[in-house]
Amino acid sequence: MKVALYARYSSDNQRDASIEDQLRLCRLYAEKQGWTIADSYSDRAISGASLLRPGIQELIHDATRGRFTVVLAEAMDRLSRDQEDIAGLFKRMAFAGVKIVTLSEGDVTHLHVGLKGTMNALFLKDLADKTRRGLRGRVENGKSGGGLCFGYDVVRQFAASGEPIRGDRTINPAEANVVRRIFADYLAGKSSRTIARELNKEGVVGPQGNEWGPSTIHGNPKRGVGILNNELYVGRLVWNRLRYLKDPDTGKRVSRHNPESEWIIQDVPELRIIEQSVWDAVKAQQQKLAYEPSAPGQNALNERRRSKHLFAGLMKCGCCGGGYVLISKDLLGCATARNKGTCDNRMNIRRDVLEASVLNGLHTHLMEPSLFREFCEEFTREVNRLRIERSSSIVGQRKELTKVQRDLERAIQAVLDGVPGAQLKDTIGALESRKAELTEVLAHAEEPPVLLHPNMAEIYRQKISALHHRLQDEDGKAEAAAIFRTLVDQVTLQPEESELAIVLRGDLAAILTFAAGKKKPDLLKEARLLTSVITPGSVVAGTGFEPVTFRL
């Protein structure tokens, strides 16, 4: 029996050796059971509150390919502490015919998933509550309840017991002078972009060692972020202005604004850097320059902002990786070069010229018929291989189900013939359990994927032509533009001598779905189908799979 080992630790404060300790215990257990270790997977210093971890994702991928039949971990909370995730993982493993075993719980069943999943979720909530309670107490004592902000240093000292005293800060004189300069420059009429460019030009290091950007300076007044909005600079410590939640779909942390009644505010005059009169003048200047959008419901465009142009947000500078943005009504340029002054790419391009070039690339270059046929052949070979593997697995499970059903009927007949039921109780129970498991797996068995049409490249070209015509029509322009944006993964603008070269990278999953005739691309489903054939993400205009440059 082949087994996969999994280990995880969640905090930078834990030892990296924790992974090896977990794997060592799992290896000993596997050896005692006579199992063959197929591979081991791990995630270091990553929370178990989400399945968006490289190690666990690789394990799930290999499980679906039949590399092993057992997953072994130290405990269920090593796999995940989230109720939804542990239940989903259990379902995926059951579908793949893989059993989950832990050193703490043994064979993991539906009962373990329900009870332990709830307990682990409660543990996370309790830990979060205790952490917030401790931070609140620290803030109420005039100490920092968060990270280190620009202008201050951490005071490192220890209590009599030897424990570190946390939350004390002191003013960093050099950084404090930079803060005062920013406030003075802003009051002198300089924009945050100009201030950032000057600081970068002089080599002044920004917060956390990064370059200065306009948003680092002007931030968001309502959220209290940005140099010009940090109330600690006037000796006011504000905590709990924001709360942070994890998006269940992306795993990314997002912030939410708390009502002012929930804020904790403490005066810390010893940390004041900016005089009150200067602060008030800056706030007045911000108020004068502020743009207040219409109230929700008064203007639908405020509820759902549209892209400023066809490929907004998809264009990157080939020199620094920053975005290419509108710097005038019709001209696009590198945002990093313009805002921070740390990129040497000063070449601009007209918006209409760029859009025409990209649309031409989508129409004539992105899927060359000869190269696409080669891809189709490779794709078909791989899908057929996976189909054979999947079919053999399903056939084997069907045969086993027939045998289990036959053995179950024989056992029941033996009881009817007079064999004491007590002798067959365990056998019948095990057969019933296995029958239910196989029935559930086969009920959810997916059909093999549909193969690609060999003429899909030509079909794609015809549909792109029709879509291009719709782009010229006011009635269908918005929908056509939205579809075009799904087909483009990235547009890179690379300076080459006296001209800009364009590298167009398309989203293969979206392109294939579009060519197949689906109205709305199901990117996740298509991407899962393609991962065993190509590197996920893209093909590139010009030669099918290699980047090509269109010179303007």
User: Residue 37 pLDDT > 90, yes or no?
Assistant: yes
- In the chain, what are the domains? 2-125 (3.40.50.1390), 169-289 (3.90.1750.20), 306-390+448-552 (no CATH)
Q: Are 109 and 76 contacting, i.e. CB atoms less than 8 angstroms apart?
A: no
Angle at which helix 508-516 crosses helix 477-487, to 10 degrees, equals 130
- Per the DSSP assignment, residues forming a β-bridge with 100 are 71
Q: What is the pLDDT of residues 110-145, one digit of tens each?
A: 888 887 767 777 776 777 777 767 677 766 677 766
Which of 7-21, 131-145, 269-283, 368-382 is predicted with the least confidence, judged by mean pLDDT? 368-382
pLDDT at position 521: 38
Q: What angle is formed at CA 443 by the lines to CA 440 and CA 445, rounded to 5 degrees? A: 110
Q: What is the pLDDT of residues 168-201, one digit of tens each?
A: 888 999 999 999 999 999 988 888 888 998 999 8
Reported as type and span, the H/E element at residue 367 is none
Distance (Å, rounded) from C-alpha 22 to C-alpha 35? Answer: 17
- Per the DSSP assignment, residues forming a β-bridge with 42 are 7
Q: Name the pLDDT band for 276 (thresholds 50, 70, 90).
A: very high
Q: Name the pLDDT band for 249 (thresholds 50, 70, 90).
A: low
> Exposure pattern of 217-245 as b/e (b: 16+ CB <10 Å)?
bbbeeeebbbbbbbebbbbbbbbbbeeee
Distance (Å, rounded) from C-alpha 490 to C-alpha 316? Answer: 7
Reported as type and span, the H/E element at residue 452 is none
pLDDT at position 390: 63
Residue that wins the pLDDT comparison between 4 and 189: 4
- The DSSP line for 107-153 is E--HHHHHHHHHHHHHHHHHHHHHHHHHHHHHHHTT---S-PPTTEE
pLDDT at position 454: 56
Residue that wins the pLDDT comparison between 264 and 48: 264
99 closest CA partner among 107, 88, 87 = 107
Residue that wins the pLDDT comparison between 441 and 75: 75
pLDDT at position 519: 44
Which of 187-201, 284-298, 472-486, 526-540 is predicted with the least confidence, judged by mean pLDDT? 526-540
Q: Name the pLDDT band for 279 (thresholds 50, 70, 90).
A: very high
Reported as type and span, the H/E element at residue 351 is helix 351-364
Which tokens is 32 given? 């005692």
Rounded percentage of the chain residues whose pLDDT exceeds 90? 16
Q: Which amino acid is it at 8? A: R
Average pLDDT, integer, range 6-24: 75
Rounded CA Rg of the chain: 30
User: Residue 517 pLDDT > 70, yes or no?
Assistant: no
- Provide the CB-side half-sphere exposure for 212 (13 A, CA): 24
- Tracing tokens 């929908």 back to the chain, one arrives at 479
What is the average pLDDT value for the chain, to the nearest integer?
A: 75
In 3-state terms, the chain is what percent helix, strand and coil (to 5)?
Answer: 50, 15, 35
pLDDT at position 39: 92
Q: Pairing between strand 70-73 and 2-9?
A: parallel
Q: Name the pLDDT band for 532 (thresholds 50, 70, 90).
A: very low
Average pLDDT, integer, range 75-97: 86
pLDDT at position 32: 92
Exposed, middle or buried, 17 (CB in 10 Å: 0-12/13-18/19+)? exposed
Which tokens is 341 given? 């002054």
pLDDT at position 4: 95
271 closest CA partner among 232, 230, 226, 227 = 232
Residue that wins the pLDDT comparison between 105 and 160: 105
306 closest CA partner among 482, 488, 510, 484 = 482
Q: What is the pLDDT of residues 386-421, one digit of tens each?
A: 666 666 666 677 788 888 888 888 877 777 777 776
Distance (Å, rounded) from C-alpha 171 to C-alpha 271? Answer: 6
Distance (Å, rounded) from C-alpha 11 to C-alpha 44? Answer: 8
Q: Name the pLDDT band for 280 (thresholds 50, 70, 90).
A: very high
User: Residue 546 pLDDT > 50, yes or no?
Assistant: no
Which tokens is 329 given? 């009504």
